[in-house]
Structure 1
Amino acid sequence: MARDILHKMKTLAGVGWRRQLLVAEACASMFAARMLLLVLPFSRVAGRLGDFVSPADPRVAQRAAATTPDQAATARAIGWAVRSAAPFMPFRSVCLQQAMAAHAMLRRRGIASVMHFGASPSGARAIDAHAWLDAAGVKVTGYPIPKEMGEIACFV
């Protein structure tokens, strides 16, 4: 475990200051998402995420579609930063916090995204839930999606 952390720290040291800043922003965004989810009811948090729509809503495909190469590169870089930082957060940064963090980072850059929500039965009356994010034709966070996961709704 310590060897893995040292390897990742060396990797981060070698990626350049722009990516290092992106990882720092991802950490701050995941922390903010965690705090929002701890302090506010999800109904209040949801209001900050956009319109809650069916996956069949035309805005879903429109906002997830490929845009400019620069926006796609930014979406890929943000996805990388969030996924890279998540294991090192002082709390368990689950798919919802990662999607919320990437969504906020993309929004700050004027890039539209779609946050998807899905669920699947896990037996004994429990449900497994999952969140994932698409933007600019890029699968930003939450991939791969478990094949038994059914999409329920989206925020656009």
Structure 2
Amino acid sequence: MKITGHPIQDYIFLLEAIITSMFYRFLLIFFPMKRIAALMGNNRTIDATITNAKEQETIQQIKIAINRTKRLALWRFMCFEQGLTAKKMLKRQKINSTIYFGLSKTPDNKLKAHAWLKAGDLFITGGKGHQQFKVLDSFS
């Protein structure tokens, strides 16, 4: 079934991304990071491989939903929230992923943080410019 030219699954993923991002934003405001870290998964990196076209299609749909949510969100929806939201969505689809947290220094010696999410070799969120950050931690 299609609504205005888009498959219904696109709208389902968009709704899921909006609700999940609001949930994580709420958690980040009201709960300490230690509690939120427990929701991120195991403290390690898994190099999961994306084995079939169905998983690749699902990943693409989730990436699109995250990008649409970025444009629609009236709340903070930066790299950290995007990574957490996409990770949760992939987990619901039984697709393994790893979220990375990194730091770098700006020319004026200020610290800059970044988060990015990968499933296998595919970047889901935050892939642009991730090379300039030193990985501090990752969760799978």
Q: What's the TM-score, normalizing by structure 2?
A: 0.88
**Structure 2 match to 1:117:** 101
- Measured in 2, the distance between the counterparts of 1:146 and 1:113 equals 16
- Measured in 2, the distance between the counterparts of 1:143 and 1:149 equals 11
- Measured in 2, the distance between the counterparts of 1:123 and 1:44 equals 33
> Would you say how many aligned residue pairs link Structure 1 and Structure 2?
138
Offset of 1:107 from its aligned partner? 0.7
Q: Which has the higher helix share?
A: 1
**Structure 2 match to 1:105:** 89
Runs of 5+ unmatched residues, structure 1: 1-11, 54-58
Instruction: Give a deviation string over 1:38-58, Cα, whole Å, max 9, x none.
Output: 1111111001111123xxxxx
Instruction: Give a deviation string over 1:63-113, Cα, whole Å, max 9, x none.
Output: 2x2222211211121011111211211112010101100111111111111
Structure 1 moving runs of 4+ over 4 Å: none
Runs of 5+ unmatched residues, structure 2: none
The 3-state SS of whatever aligns with 1:33 is helix
The one-letter amino acid of 1:76's match is Q
2:79 alignment partner, one of 70, 95, 109: 95
Matched-pair contact (CA < 8 Å) for 1:87–1:93: no
**Structure 2 match to 1:155:** 139
**Structure 2 match to 1:50:** 41
Offset of 1:126 from its aligned partner? 2.5
Once the two structures are superposed, the pairs formed by residues 70-81 of structure 1 within 5 Å of their partners are: 70-81=54-65
Q: What's the TM-score, normalizing by structure 1?
A: 0.80
- Cα RMSD after superposing both structures: 1.8
**Structure 2 match to 1:32:** 23
**Structure 2 match to 1:133:** 117
Q: Does 1:60 align with 2:46?
A: yes
**Structure 2 match to 1:56:** none
